[in-house]
Structure 1
Amino acid sequence: MTVQVNLNERHQKILQATVKHYIATAEPVGSKTLIQEYDFSVSSATVRNVMGKLEKAGFLYQPYTSAGRIPSDSGYRIYVDRLLPSKKPLKKSLAKNLSRQIGAPQKNYEILFKKITQVLSDLSGCIALVTLPQTASNIIYHLQLLRIGEQKIMLVMVIDNYQTESVLFDHQDFNLDHDHQMGEVIDQELQMLSNFLNHKLKGRSLLDIDNLDWSELEQDFKQYAHFINHLLDKITENYRISSYSPIMVQGIAKMVRQPEFAQIEHLQILLQLLEEEQEKLFPVVFNLDEQKESFSKVKITIGSENPLQSMHYCSLISSNYYQGTYPVGSVGIIGPTRIAYEDAIALVESTADYLTNAMED
């Protein structure tokens, strides 16, 4: 999410300095502080005037009267989208640090992922989240369309470990009107479609279905284009609802020490989410749709941008890791909105790259 607003160079520098100072100190920032600690060749009154304009624009606010200012969620968003320095040098050093602390990838996934989560928490000083890889239930072995009664069609799908998934739907859902046909003819038609789908999908990942291009179907199957596209939507919808793997969590004690969580109720609802409601958290951390729409490898969700109210005092920085070309899990950091974004982004990206390489090995 990018905030569209025009800020001149002075506005950007003062906002950047305010955010950096608040991240470092957790103390409201005043114009005198910025003049003393940053090289602004302007008067304190000019800085104060710019900070007032940034406050009116919604990028800064005063927590109480006569205090300095602190960044809002929108202020952090501008900082992340426009004002962060290049993370390449930092990412390179973090990648070396990760490899040194974790060591060579281990074949025991549980041990490897537990160690990675601990190292990620230690290096970030925040809560680290790593979803276990969804290597099972990925590859399609066989598909079969079956007529169930007069108005229903069932798709039976055999996937990894010979696990069976099924999806039931109505004829009319797919603009199929077979009332005038004999059951035997319908069965033949469904078998033909089953053969076609097996030819196209066997050996592919369920996660890859969204990426397939069905715009140019063979001539014999053009009349079934709507049916096929709707069917694939049903498969991916059903898979997204049922797909969930455990999330490894480390670093809760580190969050307790952050001043933003001095109010116990803020901490309690976050702990409940992490410990008892991971099924709600999972699609937020590992969201394939949002990852496809993003131009960045790393997804950053700040404060009230988070879909879960229990995370409105937090920022989530996450990135998928891959097995081949398929995203199979995600790495994430949860911290206060005052998190050190530059370090956290580079760290999450480096950890995701490490896990992608580990999955290949």
Structure 2
Amino acid sequence: MPLDDRKLAVLRAIVEDYVATQEPVGSKALVERHNLGVSPATVRNDMAVLEEEGYIRQPHTSAGRVPTDRGYRLFVDRLSRVKPLSPAERRAIERFLAGAVDLDDVVHRTVRLLAQLTRQVAVVQYPSLARSSVRHLELVQVSTTRLMLVMIADTGRVEQRLVELPEPTDTDVVLDLRTRINEKLCGSRLVDTPALVETLLDEIRPEQRPTMAVLSSVLLETLVERREERVVLAGTANLTRGGILDFHGSLRPILEALEEDLILLKLFGEVEPTTTRVMIGDETQVDNLRSAAVVSTGYGPHSTIVGGLGVLGPTRMDYPGNIATVRAVARYVSELLAQN
């Protein structure tokens, strides 16, 4: 049955107190700490209803109650107010990220910052090549028969390959090919480049085709075939003080899950634009993370989502604070990528 406003207020108070104290919450403490406007007996009755409906539970023989995953879900969806970051926190984020010198530095600064601000495990996905566009392609002549192909994506991600040419090639030919490749591919999404690369072979002079054929193969490998997605973590030590354990009282399964890139990409990489996703307990659909919660969002330049970031911690986490921090950091990273 739907909960009335008073019972919702009691649930909110239980979640907030349990997150703050890490102790089961009793009716007397609720009345003392919160202006609920009712007697402890009324609060006890409300708590009985909340327990019956599956929003709170009584651990062991304690007189207090703790939220269930269902209770946290309702709290996140209806009861929590996202905490605005203070001006000092915003300035700290901006200063810390503004000092980054390249994409690797941006990613590693971001993940460290998230872990420090939230005291959870932070995860940042590198900008996905599948969602990126070509900013520039450079051909560096190492020798007459060897080139270095450098692809720079619009996110700042850089991929490079050595190209062994079938015959000695003049510098003028290399410069001409570089110009043609950039004219054809710059600004295109990487997933749209295969057809463009094929047309390049038809448009160049016959004597350049052997070189272009080799270049085309390496281009396709660089732009399309290599779908390696990378994630970085920070703050795993926070798990030891966060009280996150699996149902057998062990951290090991959780740490094992964090070592699986595919799991992390599923949790943090599959995000929708302009939304913050919160997964609690079984909602992660990962057995080893049934005692965990995930807050994630997407980031990227000019409203284009190129990767995901967020935090993982116990279901008993500060959802309003973590949601605000994850959103703010994602916004600053997006602005940073848009400037480069």
TM-score by length of 1: 0.66
In the other structure, the counterpart of 2:22 is 26
CA distance in 2, matches of 1:6, 1:206: 47
Contact 1:91 1:346 in 2 (8 A): no
Contact 1:117 1:248 in 2 (8 A): yes
Task: Name the % identity.
Answer: 31
Task: Say if 1:39 and 1:138 are closer, same or farther in 2 by CA, change over 3 A.
Answer: closer
Contact 1:314 1:334 in 2 (8 A): yes
In the other structure, the counterpart of 2:333 is 355
Contact 1:105 1:358 in 2 (8 A): no
Task: Say if 1:95 and 1:52 are closer, same or farther in 2 by CA, change over 3 A.
Answer: same
Within 5 Å, which residues of 2 pair with 1:131-280? 131-135=125-129, 138-139=132-133, 203-204=188-189, 206=191, 243-261=227-245, 266-275=250-259, 277-280=260-263
Given candidates 271, 283, 292, the residue that maps to 1:305 is 283
In the other structure, the counterpart of 1:78 is 74
Task: Say if 1:314 and 1:96 are closer, same or farther in 2 by CA, change over 3 A.
Answer: same
Q: Which amino acid aligns with 1:333?
A: V
CA distance in 1, matches of 2:249, 2:306: 34
Task: Say if 1:252 and 1:86 are closer, same or farther in 2 by CA, change over 3 A.
Answer: closer
Instruction: Give how far 1:81 is off.
Output: 0.9
**What is the DSSP-based 3-state SS (H/G/I as helix, E as strand, rest coil) of the residue aligned with 1:281?**
helix
Within 5 Å, which residues of 2 pair with 1:4-15? 6-15=2-11
CA distance in 1, matches of 2:103, 2:11: 43
Instruction: Give how far 1:8 is off.
Output: 1.0
Residue 315 of structure 1 pairs with residue 299 of structure 2 = no
Task: Say if 1:244 and 1:319 are closer, same or farther in 2 by CA, change over 3 A.
Answer: farther
Contact 2:112 2:234 in 1 (8 A): yes
Given candidates 107, 119, 124, the residue that maps to 1:125 is 119
Within 5 Å, which residues of 2 pair with 1:37-116? 37-87=33-83, 89-90=84-85, 94-100=89-95, 102-116=96-110
TM-score by length of 2: 0.70
Q: Deviations over 1:123-165 (max 9, x none)?
A: 101101011112467449xxxxxxxxxxxxxxxxxxx8799xx
Q: Which amino acid aligns with 1:254?
A: N
* Consecutive aligned runs of 4 or more in structure 1 exceeding 6 Å deviation: 160-163
Instruction: Give how far 1:324 is off.
Output: 3.1
Report the RMSD for the aligned CA atoms in angstroms: 2.9
Ranges in structure 1 where 5+ consecutive residues have no aligned partner: 141-159, 164-201, 208-238
Q: Deviations over 1:78-106 (max 9, x none)?
A: 1111111244x327654323113x14252
**What is the DSSP-based 3-state SS (H/G/I as helix, E as strand, rest coil) of the residue aligned with 2:298?**
strand
Contact 1:298 1:349 in 2 (8 A): yes
Instruction: Give how far 1:246 is off.
Output: 1.6
